[in-house]
Amino acid sequence: MHPYDTAKTVYRTVNCEGRVAYRQNFYSVPWQRIGELLPVRITEKELIVYGPDVTEIARHELFPRGAAGQRRIHPDHLPGRDPQQKYALLKQRFTEFGAEGILFFEQLVKTRRYGKEEASRVLALLSTYRREDLQGALERAARYRAFSLPAVERILAAQARPYLASESLADEAREHLAELFQQAPVSVRPTEDYQELFRKVENENQGENQIDDDQENNQSS
């Protein structure tokens, strides 16, 4: 990255259509990212989306200022026509919620006419509710055999509080910092290194004090 790079980074949650919003326009990302909060880098001419591991997953030309309601869709970001592939990818996302999440997903697809679409919209609820709240709602829905998007929405409305985007960003930032600390722990430097540093600083201070004393003596004389 150029040392004078003026690009800014924001965070956006992928909606149920597999898109992120910026200045009232929409840009596609791989659809299986639905519900994820991702870093988005904005340059003068481009919008670049990164995955949780900070690898680039989407790049689009930025709409000019004043444009609104426009969409940039990359064909590779759309779900394929293979229903089994879509099923497998959605199921993989629901494994994040444990055994009850898998059970909910399997029964949702089995019993609802548009089960896969509802599953995508369930994941998109992560843009409004905390992950632990959604997991609790899925567990409760599975317990009462209520395998549908409306059931999950009712449970969340009754038991959880929607959070603001700023709260979501704060949660993600804390989690990301924790991951960074785990991946790259700060090593403890030997005491001798600090002692050497202290000696250098002390010598520099003594030199500055000597200069000040000489200047003061010259002025007094």
What Å distances lie between residue 117 and 16, 21, 71, 138, CA to CA? Answer: 9, 20, 20, 16
Separation CA 74–CA 60 (nearest Å): 9
Q: Which residue bears the tokens 């259509």?
A: 17
Question: Could you report the per-residue pLDDT of 123-132, keeping only the tens digit for each?
Answer: 999 888 999 9
> Per-residue pLDDT for 205 more than 70?
no
The angle, 0 to 180 degrees and rounded to 10, between the axes of the packed helices 115-124 and 149-159 is: 20
H or E segment and range at residue 12: strand 8-13
Q: What is the average pLDDT across 73-99? A: 89
Q: pTM to 2 decimals? A: 0.64
Per-residue pLDDT, 127: 83
Question: Could you report the per-residue pLDDT of 33-76, keeping only the tens digit for each?
Answer: 988 889 999 999 999 999 988 899 999 999 999 999 999 999 99
> Per-residue pLDDT for 26 more than 90?
yes
Per-residue pLDDT, 164: 63
> Per-residue pLDDT for 4 more than 90?
no
Per-residue pLDDT, 79: 81
Per-residue pLDDT, 180: 44
**Contacting residues for 122 by C-beta, under 8 A, at least 6 apart:** 108, 134, 138, 149, 152
For 204, phi and psi rounded to 5 degrees?
Answer: -65, -40
Per mean pLDDT, which range of 94-103, 135-144, 172-181 is the poorest?
172-181
Per-residue pLDDT, 80: 75
Confidence band (pLDDT; 50, 70, 90) for 212?
Answer: very low
> Per-residue pLDDT for 105 more than 70?
yes
Beta carbons within 10 angstroms of residue 43's beta carbon: 13
> Per-residue pLDDT for 211 more than 70?
no
Question: Could you report the per-residue pLDDT of 140-189, keeping only the tens digit for each?
Answer: 999 999 999 999 999 999 999 987 655 555 555 544 444 444 544 444 45
